[in-house]
Structure 1
Amino acid sequence: MTTILINTQLTIVTYLIVGFLLSKTGLIDEHAQLFISNLTINVLLPASVFTSFLSGMSMDLLLSLGTILILAVGLEVFLSLASKTGGSRRFTPGQACVAHYGYLVSNGGLIGTPVIESLFGAVGVMCCNVFMIPTRILAFSAGESIFNPSLKRTPQAVLRSVATNKIIDVMALGLVMIYFNLSLPAPILTALQKIGGCLAPFSLILVGSLLAQRVKLTAPMIKNVAQITLIRLLVIPLAALGVCLALRLDFQTTAVITLLMGMPVGSSCASFAKKYRGDETFASAVVLTSTLLSTVTLVLLMKLIELAF
């Protein structure tokens, strides 16, 4: 598994470099980034998730998905509480918002999905997106309020954003089709699978293009970036690994949970910081640093998981 992940990470780095170069040469500008982002979030990712749910469902897999969802909720609640009470005094208010959001919301959707799929196939994609449900809810419900405390979203608004989330909708549709033993015509299923197969290159080229912006840091900022990156990439996933081992979960469930908890800070962090006039430079530095270092730390985490089993 470690060898597979190393090869996957090298592929990811290649995609990131392509996106970086396309942005630097002007072939991908802000308008192109917006188009690719909309295409990825609204078409490619839903297609990938939906077809993964049509790969078949067993009772063991259903129990595994339930376990993954319960642990995902528990871990996100713990992180939410810990990030509020465990902030560093070195952080400025703008940096504290970045840290709080960065601990809660990872890039598990755009980067985590290709990684998990390379290890566990369609079943891995299914497990990945079930685990990401609480993260997506937090990103929509609490994400903006972290950067703009005056923004209070009503429970109705939160429910509406969850109900209209395309990923959650296609997961629900997939479960309905499984329950009623429905299937798609072969040509349509093949087309959706091919569309979903475009997720990795498009999403990672997009992330690479976002990393092309210049970031100037001071010495104190570098220390704070290092702290957030260390916690996001190592402390959080190692704690999750400890929980999985204590509960005696199987290898696949443990690997999915640990690796997803070790994903870099979500790129939306920089977007929110820019939108609400937060510390955009600091947020961009955190996203850039954690994304690049995750190509190494994820391999280390996979090796630890294998040693534990």
Structure 2
Amino acid sequence: MNTLKIVEQVLALFFMMIIGYIARKAKIISGDMNRGLSEILLKVTLPCLIISSFNVSYSKDTASNAFTLLLYSLIIHICLFFVSNIFYNRYPKSVQSVLRYGTIFSNCGYMGIPVIESIYGKTGIFYTSIFNIPFNILIWILGVYLFLGKSDLKTLRKAIINPGLISTILGVIMFIFSLKLPNILMKTFEGVGSITTPLSMILIGSMIAEIPLKELFLSKSIYYFSFIRLILIPVSILYILNFFKADGMLLSIPVLITAMPAAANTPVFAEIYGGDTVIASKCVLISTLISIITIPLIIFLIQ
């Protein structure tokens, strides 16, 4: 990886966030617009970006790398499910469930994919989409379990019927059978998908603008959470994968995705399943703000 190029790419993402921040403060973007942008990202632009990234030729090496990343992701998520209980067992249940959810599930879509794309391009999106498959399933199994102590068939259906997973499955089918979409369709998917990164960063900047400045100096539990989410977990995974001689994207994608802030849907799950919504919102917004500093540091360590 070219260090200067990476710094430039990360700074570009940061300045996109600033645009979103200014737009929110200037009331160009409203709270309702934030929700609308989230829906567009989740259900339109991100699936288009994922499908367009699977327009690659099948090879045994690529398939092997994809399977390895899928396995890494599954192991990491399951390990974090158990380890997170140790980190937060002194907190009340409503707070503990939120902190554990945010620790297990990172913002691998809105923020992870743009960061990976800025460094590795479409190949990075391809591998990241594979790595994110367990995330899209386990949020509805382990995620719901954290709040309710159980999962049911309704939540399992949501694990299967969500735009991110459906687009990834379609992409995998295209990859395995070397299916190519008509050029006009591919250009459409690429065009719509290309707005994912700037739209994501503008949305995140707008969300950060909603944090009262005094909140940045309170809530010790959020600083503790952010340290675990943004530093302890990715650094631990970096050293473990280095020990097993992982390299290239087999090393960097797991580390970078786990270096992302708390999943953007953490407050939504807290609201639906009885968690502490205030803590959930702080986890997402403050860890996102701090990640502007920590992500470049993690990238530096990977090199």
Same fold (TM over 0.5): yes
Count of residue correspondences:
301
2-structure distance, mates of 1:113, 1:181 = 23
By how many angstroms is 1:168 displaced?
Answer: 1.8
- 8 Å Cα contact 2:111/2:260 also seen in 1: yes
By how many angstroms is 1:231 displaced?
Answer: 0.6
1:183 is aligned to 2:180: yes
1-structure distance, mates of 2:146, 2:210 = 24
- 8 Å Cα contact 1:55/1:122 also seen in 2: no
- Structure 1 partner of 2:52: 51
- Structure 2 partner of 1:303: 300
2-structure distance, mates of 1:99, 1:106 = 12
By how many angstroms is 1:177 displaced?
Answer: 2.3
- Structure 2 partner of 1:225: 222
SS at 1:28 equivalent = coil
- Structure 2 partner of 1:204: 201
Distance of aligned partners of 1:57 and 1:158 in 2 relative to their CA distance in 1, 3 Å threshold: farther
SS at 1:142 equivalent = helix
- 8 Å Cα contact 1:211/1:288 also seen in 2: yes
- Structure 1 partner of 2:67: 66
- Structure 1 partner of 2:118: 118
- Structure 1 partner of 2:210: 213
With the length of structure 1 as denominator, give the TM-score of the two structures: 0.90
- 8 Å Cα contact 1:48/1:196 also seen in 2: yes
Root-mean-square deviation (CA, aligned residues, Å) is 2.1
For 1:270, give the aligned amino acid.
P
By how many angstroms is 1:61 displaced?
Answer: 1.2
With the length of structure 2 as denominator, give the TM-score of the two structures: 0.91
SS at 2:53 equivalent = helix
| Superposed counterparts of 1:241-260, under 5 Å | 241-260=238-257
- From 233, 238, 241, give the equivalent of 1:236: 233
By how many angstroms is 1:226 displaced?
Answer: 1.1
- From 269, 284, 287, give the equivalent of 1:287: 284
Work out the percentage of aligned pairs sharing the same amino acid: 30
By how many angstroms is 1:239 displaced?
Answer: 1.2
1:98 is aligned to 2:105: no
2-structure distance, mates of 1:244, 1:95 = 31
- 8 Å Cα contact 1:104/1:135 also seen in 2: no
- From 148, 151, 154, give the equivalent of 1:153: 151
By how many angstroms is 1:263 displaced?
Answer: 0.6
1:77 is aligned to 2:78: yes
Distance of aligned partners of 1:178 and 1:135 in 2 relative to their CA distance in 1, 3 Å threshold: closer
By how many angstroms is 1:264 displaced?
Answer: 0.6
By how many angstroms is 1:229 displaced?
Answer: 0.4
2-structure distance, mates of 1:14, 1:269 = 25
